[in-house]
């Protein structure tokens, strides 16, 4: 199953001023495209081109670093674009999601503090996540392209803390970028969709 670069679900100016057109053009058109192109080449070489993306990510983890890095980053980014929307963020969560955040993560304010801390303290490149594991929500962070899939969890929300995702707009102020992501960009409807799929 060939990897394909998805179109952004909004125009390049939609997330401004929290994420600029320039950031999206570089991040989507250059970085994500490179993961797709490299991933297709490496998956074919490894004889895994017919598998689903999730299967490629899981099979290549710990066995084929080059393929894993590109396939996992492709997976992460497919969802990352959908985890943002114009006018997103804030504490107006759909009811079912709000109930889960209250019971599993200690409520929205604690989620915000813990998720931002996970992203801010991830040394170097990586991601911060909210995932469903064993039926419950948990917050985690991973280095580079690694994601919760390879740890037996289903990610329902992730934020990219590689420098190319924020440096044009925030320079070295990663915590400011994380605050903007949580307060102004999260697409809670897509988070709910992922949550419902993970808890079926």
pLDDT digits (tens, 9 = 90+) for 22-62: 999 999 999 999 999 999 999 999 999 999 999 999 999 99
CA-only gyration radius of the chain, Å: 16
- Given this model, what pLDDT does residue 56 score? 98
Domain boundaries, the chain: 21-83, 95-198
| 74 annotated as a binding-site residue | no
CATH architecture assignment, domain 95-198: 3-Layer(bab) Sandwich (3.55)
CATH architecture assignment, domain 21-83: Orthogonal Bundle (1.10)
| 27 annotated as a binding-site residue | yes
pLDDT digits (tens, 9 = 90+) for 67-122: 999 999 999 999 999 999 999 999 999 999 999 999 999 999 999 999 999 999 99
| 28 annotated as a binding-site residue | no
The answer to whether the bond into 17 is cis (omega within 30° of 0) is yes
Task: Using CB atoms within 10 Å of the CB of residue 16, give its burial: 0 to 12 exposed, 13 to 18 middle, 19+ buried.
Answer: middle
Task: Please state whether the predicted TM-score (pTM) of the whole model is above 0.75.
Answer: yes
| 160 annotated as a binding-site residue | yes
């Amino acid at each position: 199953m060939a990897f394909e670069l998805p179109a952004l679900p909004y125009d390049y100016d939609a997330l401004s001023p929290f994420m600029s057109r320039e950031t999206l053009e570089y991040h989507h058109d250059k970085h994500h495209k490179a993961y797709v192109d490299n991933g297709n080449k490496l998956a074919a070489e490894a004889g895994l081109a017919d598998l689903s993306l999730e299967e490629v990510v899981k099979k290549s983890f710990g066995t084929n670093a080059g393929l894993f890095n590109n396939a996992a980053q492709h997976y992460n980014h497919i969802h990352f674009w959908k985890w943002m929307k114009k006018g997103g963020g804030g504490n107006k969560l759909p009811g079912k999601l709000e109930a889960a955040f209250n019971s599993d993560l200690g409520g929205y304010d604690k989620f915000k503090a813990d998720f931002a801390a996970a992203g801010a303290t991830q040394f170097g490149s990586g991601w911060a996540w909210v995932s469903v594991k064993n039926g419950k929500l948990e917050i985690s962070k991973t280095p580079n392209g690694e994601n919760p899939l390879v740890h037996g969890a289903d990610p329902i929300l992730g934020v990219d803390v590689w420098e190319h995702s924020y440096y044009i707009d925030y320079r070295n102020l990663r915590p400011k970028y994380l605050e903007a992501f949580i307060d102004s960009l999260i697409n809670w409807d897509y988070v709910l969709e992922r949550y419902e799929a993970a808890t079926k």
